[in-house]
């Protein structure tokens, strides 16, 4: 009868070392990345490439952010389908006004 292989303790140790090192590296990376803030007067320019449901929704979310949080403006749109592009433009115009 075959005996089941017993787990190797060195594999567990290696796993713990690797995961703890990876966790420490990810935590320290967050500390080392400088935070960048822009003035509220600055506009963030948003471009939409692909005017399907997901792209239009993401653009709508971007232009719906209140000005006191971020000032986003849709500056360009592109899609291979002119019908989708027109529909997306109309929907975003209704939602975001002049943004």
Average pLDDT over residues 63-90: 90
Please name which of 63, 82, 86, 66 lies closest in space to residue 74, comparing C-alpha atoms.
Answer: 63
What distances in angstroms separate CA 22 from CA 19, 25, 28, 42, 53, one per listed residue?
A: 5, 5, 10, 37, 37
Say how many Å lie between the first and final Cα of the chain, rounded: 74
What are the helix (H) ranges across the chain? 9-32, 53-63, 82-96
- For the full predicted model, state whether its pTM sits above 0.85: no
Residue 25: band (very low, low, confident or very high) from pLDDT cuts 50, 70, 90: low
Q: Lowest mean pLDDT of 45-54, 64-73, 85-94, name the range.
A: 64-73
Average pLDDT over residues 40-62: 87
Task: Give residue 86's pLDDT.
Answer: 95
Task: Give residue 37's pLDDT.
Answer: 61
């Amino acid at each position: 009868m075959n005996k089941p292989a017993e787990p190797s303790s060195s594999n567990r140790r290696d796993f713990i070392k690797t995961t703890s090192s990876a966790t420490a590296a990810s935590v320290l990376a967050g500390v080392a990345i400088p935070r960048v803030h822009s003035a509220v007067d600055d506009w963030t320019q948003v471009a939409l490439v692909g005017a399907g449901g997901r792209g239009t929704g993401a653009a709508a979310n971007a232009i719906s952010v209140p000005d006191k949080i971020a000032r986003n403006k849709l500056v360009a749109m592109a899609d291979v389908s002119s019908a989708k592009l027109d529909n997306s433009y109309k929907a975003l115009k209704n939602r975001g006004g002049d943004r």
